[in-house]
Structure 1
Amino acid sequence: MSCTVPHIYQSFYDQYVNVIFFSLCLVSCNGGNILVVPLDGSHWVNMKVILEELHSRGHNLTVIRASNSWYIPEESPLYTSISVEMDESMEDSVEVYLDEQEGASFWTFLKLTTHWMSTFSEVQEMWAEVFIKIVEDQKVLQSILDSKYELILTDPAIAVGLYLAKFLKLPVVLNVRWITSGEGHFALAPSPLSYIPVPGSGLTDKMNFIQRVKNFLFSSIDLFQQKFMVEPCYFAIREKYFEGKFDIISLLQEADIWLFRSDFVFDYPRPTMPNVVYIGGFQCKPAQPLPADLEEFVQSAGEDGVIIMTLGTLVNALPADLTDEVARVFAKLPQKVIWRHKGATPSTLGNNTLIVDWMPQKDLLGHTQIKLFVAHGGTNGVQEAIYHGVPVLGIPLFFDQYDNLLRLQDRGAAKILELSDLNADTFEQGIQEVLHTDSYRMNIQRMSRLHRDQPLAPMDQAVFWVEYVMRHKGAPHLRTEAYRMPWYSYYSLDVLLLMLTVLTALIVSTLGVFRFLCCRRRKKSKAKQN
């Protein structure tokens, strides 16, 4: 027997929940001053969504940005900005990375891992210089102090926001899934490697012995990166501007609230902490009408529908030979194709394919004509695919993309096609499989229903907890005290050592007593014999 709430009552219930929630939010929160330290690229895309909502609720925002930022404009109606000179960019590194993917060998993996570790180290060094420029520029620093900020909202993929918060003695809210070396949970919550896969390992939560060994080794890579590639970038800052011993991990653990861009419809179940608020899909909204010319193109597809393809904000185009192969496959399909591609127009481009510099991804994914999403597997795109229930053919390129797509593939909602295996045949086979196997669409739509079935929207939760920290000037009661403990105390090694010492002493003492008694008995026996 199933139970269905009549539509009219469901509507009243939704309105009731929203009224109660907003009443609670507005009880004691007036507009406050928030200092924002974001990361560029796709990370800024979702940070901006939160800023729009905070601005709409009357908060005053100041954003620290690089002077040569790709996406973060200096002038905005949402915020005022503090621009800091920064000379380098990651764009060249992205192009080098794509060109280096020659195959799936161990040496290719080692070369690419080393390449990204070096790149991230350089990025951290640049942002460490940003910290120094801010605190040593008396005009900028005084402006920050005069603004009387109530908290710092930062992306912990770079550590400068954490250091600024400690320097200014401000509460911290993290807009997070990724930290300076890996996924945020591993710095905050118990993370047994027996069933929690490390990002980059390509594993699920069901591992055999060999896979657990692999998971352990990948965890060691993250620890190595944090200890030897990231931490040294901030040594000079700690020596000059701070007292006491601490590291980036302890700063992360001191944060008041973690706005975590994930949920357990997408991720695997795992231990968590009281100050982690899951806001996966917070940027997702119902689709808006498409521009007239794009709507006309989409409707012209008829019953065959439309495929959309994008490889994210960092990648403008695939290498030329692969681009031609992809275009050749698209040209053979009965579907229409909308392809975000900013490189040279491929010679094999078909009449059914529309190439664009930018696409309204959210609105397209919510359109009934969209049959397939060919994507790189960035967090934003994956969550939007889940929200709108569109199956995915994934071509992961770097960062967390393979692991994101693996979570969809493990649930039967996506198929992964690695770049090293990409050619016309594998690409066409992948498209045909996902398009014409009903289970892909059924599984992603089931995930969509689960994701949407929440008492409060993820964005409402995010804003509530930001304002919560402002109202209460932090949330120390939600933080674990683990970060104050040395590592040997955290793992109870000192207790274990004491127990072993006591046990050893008891065993030695017992053996000593028995030896003494045995020796005494022998002496008595000899005395009697004599």
Structure 2
Amino acid sequence: MTFFERVENVLLRFLQRFIYPYLLLADYRAIQKEQGIDIDSDILDVMGKASLWISYSDLSLEYPHPTMPNYVRSGGMALKEPLPLEQDLEDFVQGSGNHGIIIFTLGSTVGCLADHRKTEIIAKVFSRLPQRIIWRHTGELPTNLGSNIKILKWIPQSDLLGHAKTRLYIGHGGLNGAYEALYNAVPMILMPVLAPDQTDTAARVVSKGMGVRLDPATITAKSFYEAIKEVLQNDTYRKKVALNSAILRDMPPAKDRVVFWIEHVMKFGDEHLRAHVFELNLIQYYLVDVAAFLVLCIMGFILAMLFVCGLCCRMCKKNNNSKAE
């Protein structure tokens, strides 16, 4: 990271530690009080005492970082092998020829972009492409739909991403959709529209060279078309996503890992897995007492040396004066 990115990182870490619990964990705090779960402790302290952490992440999409022994990666646990498409959808896909298809969806929560003008721009660009488009859309239909576009209120996303003719996935940056595209080695264009985790997912995809990110608020026909052209024509994206797909598939099945560690903790407890760092207070955690002690020792040594040097200088001066007399 650059210097200012590191500054931002420190400030966000501070906000997460001291402000985030009171803003975003209020519902969990209510459950904690209602169920009488260690009500005198801070919610983050309660979470820190968890025997096991199961994270929907995987090294194929995650940044490398150190973790505790009780942290289990389960990225891709919801993935499954693609099933055959219904006949009408299969016919549409097969009609794309060698150009293949592009899948566009903004997830199950967002059926369409809030700005209909952006939807018109997207439809205009899609109509120019030689590929066929399968577009999940539930809002007002654009007026300039091309014959190569098929709009559906629901799509079998996993099955489409696993189809041999799928060339590109355009999504909102949802983690599950990104994993499905990654698992099937499909390059991505991500347009985060809601939660910060979508932006985070897009950043990971971009950093690993598996796709590009667009801002739906500032998208133009030119930027959208050039992004599609870049990902489809630059073979680097397909190679990168194929590499990370192979990494994901090479890992032991996520479900097996999760089941193993749950059973392991049930058998042997968590004492050998859980770090006690969460039980330290802020002074101990940030080594404030150790730093203060070392600073005092250094200052004491310096003052002692200054005192000794001053004493030696006074004795030498006194001896010189005695000789002069």
Normalising by structure 1, we get a TM-score of 0.56
| 1:492 correspondence with 2:287 | yes
Partner of 1:364: 160
Deviations 1:398-452 (A, max 9, x none): 3222221222222322011111321222212222221222222122112111211
Distance 1:236 1:261 in 2: 23
| 1:210 correspondence with 2:4 | yes
| 1:440 correspondence with 2:234 | no
Partner of 1:300: 95
Query: Which among 134, 142, 148 is matched to residue 346 of structure 1?
Result: 142
1:253-332 matched pairs, under 5 angstroms: 253-318=48-113, 319-332=115-128
User: Closer, same or farther in 2 for the Cα pair 1:528/1:502, shift >3 Å?
Assistant: same
1:231 is displaced (CA, Å) by 6.1
Distance 2:21 2:254 in 1: 34
Deviations 1:295-341 (A, max 9, x none): 22222222221111111122121021111221222222222211111
Deviations 1:131-173 (A, max 9, x none): xxxxxxxxxxxxxxxxxxxxxxxxxxxxxxxxxxxxxxxxxxx
1:490-529 matched pairs, under 5 angstroms: 490-529=285-324
Supply the AA of the counterpart residue of 2:230: E
Supply the AA of the counterpart residue of 1:507: I
Partner of 1:113: none
Distance 1:355 1:439 in 2: 30
3-state SS of 1:274 partner: coil
3-state SS of 1:421 partner: coil
Identical counterparts, % of pairs: 37
Structure 1: stretches of 5+ with no match in the other structure: 1-206
Distance 1:325 1:514 in 2: 80
| 1:405 correspondence with 2:199 | no
Deviations 1:192-216 (A, max 9, x none): xxxxxxxxxxxxxxx2333323333
Distance 1:512 1:421 in 2: 68
Distance 2:100 2:77 in 1: 28
1:365 is displaced (CA, Å) by 0.5
Structure 2: stretches of 5+ with no match in the other structure: none
1:87-486 matched pairs, under 5 angstroms: 207-223=1-17, 225-226=19-20, 228-230=22-24, 234=29, 241=36, 246-318=41-113, 319-398=115-194, 399-454=196-251, 456-472=252-268, 474-486=269-281
Q: Assess if the C-alpha contact under 8 Å between 2:100 and 2:165 holds in 1.
A: yes
1:236 is displaced (CA, Å) by 11
Supply the AA of the counterpart residue of 1:295: E
3-state SS of 1:307 partner: strand
3-state SS of 1:476 partner: coil
Supply the AA of the counterpart residue of 1:427: F
Supply the AA of the counterpart residue of 2:181: A
Distance 1:213 1:349 in 2: 46
Distance 2:253 2:310 in 1: 72
Partner of 1:98: none
Paired residues in the alignment total 322
Supply the AA of the counterpart residue of 1:431: I
User: Closer, same or farther in 2 for the Cα pair 1:237/1:251, shift >3 Å?
Assistant: closer
Supply the AA of the counterpart residue of 1:308: I
3-state SS of 1:266 partner: coil
Q: Assess if the C-alpha contact under 8 Å between 1:231 and 1:247 holds in 2.
A: no
Whose RCO is larger (CA < 8 A, sep 6+)? 2
3-state SS of 2:209 partner: coil
Distance 2:6 2:37 in 1: 39
User: Closer, same or farther in 2 for the Cα pair 1:330/1:230, shift >3 Å?
Assistant: closer
Partner of 1:48: none
Q: Assess if the C-alpha contact under 8 Å between 1:338 and 1:353 holds in 2.
A: yes
3-state SS of 1:468 partner: helix
Deviations 1:479-498 (A, max 9, x none): 10111111221222211211
Distance 1:515 1:323 in 2: 81
Partner of 1:59: none
Distance 1:252 1:241 in 2: 14
Distance 2:125 2:85 in 1: 26
3-state SS of 1:419 partner: coil
Distance 2:320 2:35 in 1: 76
1:227 is displaced (CA, Å) by 5.3
Distance 2:138 2:131 in 1: 22
Distance 1:499 1:441 in 2: 54
